[in-house]
Amino acid sequence: MNFIHSSIFLFISSFLLNYYITSSLFLDNLNNFTNNINRFYHALYKSLWMLLISSGIFLFFNHNFHPYIILFLFVTILSIFFLSRYQIGLTPKQYLKNIIQIHANTIIPSKAILKKSSNPQIQQLAKKILIKDNQIISEAKTLLKILK
């Protein structure tokens, strides 16, 4: 497999793993999985960094260093950072989907800390988070249905 083919394979597999697996590790249930623009940006951002680093290492050690490849990847990463930072492409539906994802990611750690901590303040905070985030998830899902 040559450099281009291996780079394409690395990028696609990394993107898919980041989009579907990594960003879903802490979801309390799969009903809270959402396809949203921020998930896309984060997966793309992480995958491009991986590609930049692996390309740099490959090209350097094979004495085939082409700065324009690294420069292109770096500029692309900066572009994705800009798009993500300024929420280009964010719509009300995308916002609600992102809110569902973010708040669903707090459920598992909050439940886990309730079992692991005897500190009453941490217990109280975890309980508040569970109640509030489940309310926010429900509200966002309701609003999402209205927007469809």
Please write the tens of the pLDDT for every residue from 28-53.
888 999 999 999 999 999 999 999 99
Handedness of CA 94, 99, 100, 106 (dihedral sign): positive
CA distance 124 to 126: 6
Q: Report pTM.
A: 0.84
Which residues, 6+ apart, have CB-to-CB distance to 101 below 8 Å? Answer: 23, 27, 32, 33, 34, 36, 38, 39
Half-sphere exposure (Cβ direction) of 6: Cα atoms closer than 13 Å: 9
Supply 142's token pair: 């309701």
The domain spans of the chain are 3-147
pLDDT score, position 1: 66
Please write the tens of the pLDDT for every residue from 10-30.
999 999 999 999 988 888 888
- Cβ atoms of 69 and 55 within 8 Å: the answer is yes
